[in-house]
Structure 1
């Protein structure tokens, strides 16, 4: 695919500094980034800062009002962009968007474009909760072009605790990637998606366990992609890092530790799910005996007796209804397809993702992945290396075509 063309409009708020990370991340990923600053934004971050981070000149109203030597700047920018972000979205710019007003480069560019626009508001809690601001917020959401990120709640720059905090940069970057793929289509609206992710831990004693290197990144990407496409997502996850758990992924989260706990929760949640995606790295075995106290080193068994852990995929496959879609994952080395096909059939899955864990920048812990999708009808689709979020979207495209 061609490099994404992303236009970022910066509003006049202290949260403008956080958009520096968004611009830098996008530019480093290979995206073509253009930045438009309002007059207010320049009071917080300079055009030179964004020009340096974007590897391209940043635009201001001074550029807008200069004589044109070609097509008008707002027309050029509006037609150029694949997707647009406005962050921080101020109450002033929100009001203009709600009523189709245009008196600066940014708002004129919005009206001269047709691409999806992601809005990330940020303001003081009392400002955000004003009836007029909330009315404008509802109005912009009636326009299918506009998509929303946040605001969240927390400590604001004014030391107020409450709503109005701008969405975090990693979440904005993820939503922009999703918008480019979907072009704003919310084709999973109304669906309940149940996802498990992360590794499980099977404890021998309070400090020793059988585990694996799974970080849960693939499941988080699946949750983000489903949310961005309109689904309601329940995410059941094993132990994960605090940084990953900060990501906006999943409308409801249920934390578990062991395979038995994950098995119980997944069975409980199954009846209300439309799609179930099993990306967790669940233990196959567990210690036959779990000790309530730490075993002295001298007392550790020379051979550790093991018993099978619950088979979540097989039990869900036995219980799922014809209208439900059950998608498994098979992390493999060497030949990834043959064992995946066997697992697909044995566990009564509708589709499976076979992904290699022995190739560079793929599998456990990586931000990227590659795979072969297979379904119960024999269809097979190879997915070249890409971000895990893009792989999630391609998987949803694949699952929607299952008959």
Structure 2
């Protein structure tokens, strides 16, 4: 995010307070952030607040109409921005954008820019459901410049329960990162991507299990990246915390626990998928017997009999059609290349992601990652340490290059 240029337009609505978290997070990550407030937005959050959080002066219509710039302010800002975010998007601003109207700094800057624009509406449910608003919302999405974060459901500021809540920062921030990478391309439109994520658990009794430290963050990042690029995504997940799944509103998610359950769901979904990415950390063994009641400590065996679990990716490789792409992961310590190559060849994968788990800020449970991508031709591409969402986009780029 260092030095990336993000322009944020703030509309008049109580949800403007959420934008403070977006601006602060981006600025702390090293991005250059500038903010435009409409006149009505200033009634909810002051320009001083956004200036403090962004480390730049916040722009308003007062500065727009003052002849104090060498070049028109809306031209300067429009040319500067790599990504333009408008949040909260009001019904008024939506109507102006739909019909190409420009009567303030925000709307003039939209017309003076060519970067992708992310729209995050927020309004009362009855306002959102008006035919005119829905017509404008559908119409603006026919313009490829515009990307959307649909409003969610819940208790609104007016005490109404319904649709109209602005998307949370946890949903907006990944979309911004994706737009910076793709420049607004929807290059996976029509692709069906099936992803497994998280760590399976093999239970000995109702409270004890064999598992691993996987949190599923890498699989979630892959699902988000694919969705943001236009794909139809199914995420089969095990042992992922609900807060990580909350932003995945437009992704089909299927929860499983054991390797056998994941095997069944992956097999059922496999034939409909174009790309299959096995990012889950699947157990290798399970307890041979299962007790339906919790075992007393004295009854625990000194030696736990173990049985192998299904090799999901090996089975899927036997079902793979020529037009499908099957990608595996290999979490390794020490030499990560040799075992990954062996797994790639033995399981007849199209590519494998060799992931070091013994390096700082890499592997299980953290927000960063690094890897070596190896495809079936033997090509090796090092992906340097970065966020898991950034790595996910690089992996998707590389999968597209597999012939």
In the other structure, the counterpart of 1:49 is 49
In the other structure, the counterpart of 1:78 is 78
Q: Distance in 1 between matches of 2:63 and 2:155?
A: 36
In the other structure, the counterpart of 1:337 is 337
Q: Please state how far the C-alpha of 1:68 moved relative to its aligned partner.
A: 2.8
Q: Is the 8 A contact 2:2 2:30 kept in 1?
A: no
Q: Distance in 1 between matches of 2:255 and 2:69?
A: 59
In the other structure, the counterpart of 2:293 is 293
Matched, 1:137 2:145: no
Q: Is the 8 A contact 2:102 2:108 kept in 1?
A: yes
Matched, 1:213 2:213: yes
In the other structure, the counterpart of 1:104 is 104
Q: Please state how far the C-alpha of 1:135 moved relative to its aligned partner.
A: 1.2
Q: Please state how far the C-alpha of 1:239 moved relative to its aligned partner.
A: 1.5
Q: Please state how far the C-alpha of 1:52 moved relative to its aligned partner.
A: 1.0
Q: Summarize deviations over 1:265-314 as a string: whole Å, max 9, x none.
A: 00111010000000001100000001111111011000001010111111
Q: Distance in 1 between matches of 2:211 and 2:62?
A: 58
Q: Distance in 2 between matches of 1:317 and 1:250?
A: 28
Q: Is the 8 A contact 1:210 1:286 kept in 2?
A: yes
Q: Please state how far the C-alpha of 1:69 moved relative to its aligned partner.
A: 3.2
Name the stretch that deviates more: 188-197 or 155-164: 155-164
Give ranges in structure 1 of 5+ residues lacking alignment.
none
Q: TM-score, normalised by structure 2?
A: 0.99
Q: Distance in 2 between matches of 1:192 and 1:126?
A: 34
In the other structure, the counterpart of 1:35 is 35
Q: Please state how far the C-alpha of 1:355 moved relative to its aligned partner.
A: 1.0
Give ranges in structure 2 of 5+ residues lacking alignment.
none
Matched, 1:346 2:369: no
Q: Please state how far the C-alpha of 1:106 moved relative to its aligned partner.
A: 0.6
Q: Secondary structure at the match of 2:276?
A: strand
Q: Is the 8 A contact 1:223 1:250 kept in 2?
A: no
Q: Any residues of structure 2 matched to 1:260-299 within 5 Å, and which? A: 260-299=260-299
Q: How many residues align?
A: 403
Q: Please state how far the C-alpha of 1:3 moved relative to its aligned partner.
A: 2.0
In the other structure, the counterpart of 2:66 is 66
Q: CA RMSD in A?
A: 1.0
Moved over 4 A (4+): none
Q: Secondary structure at the match of 2:9?
A: strand
Q: Distance in 1 between matches of 2:227 and 2:195?
A: 12
Q: Distance in 1 between matches of 2:21 and 2:41?
A: 15
Q: Please state how far the C-alpha of 1:251 moved relative to its aligned partner.
A: 2.0
Q: Please state how far the C-alpha of 1:252 moved relative to its aligned partner.
A: 0.8
Q: Please state how far the C-alpha of 1:249 moved relative to its aligned partner.
A: 6.0
Q: Please state how far the C-alpha of 1:373 moved relative to its aligned partner.
A: 0.3
Q: Distance in 2 between matches of 1:99 and 1:133?
A: 12
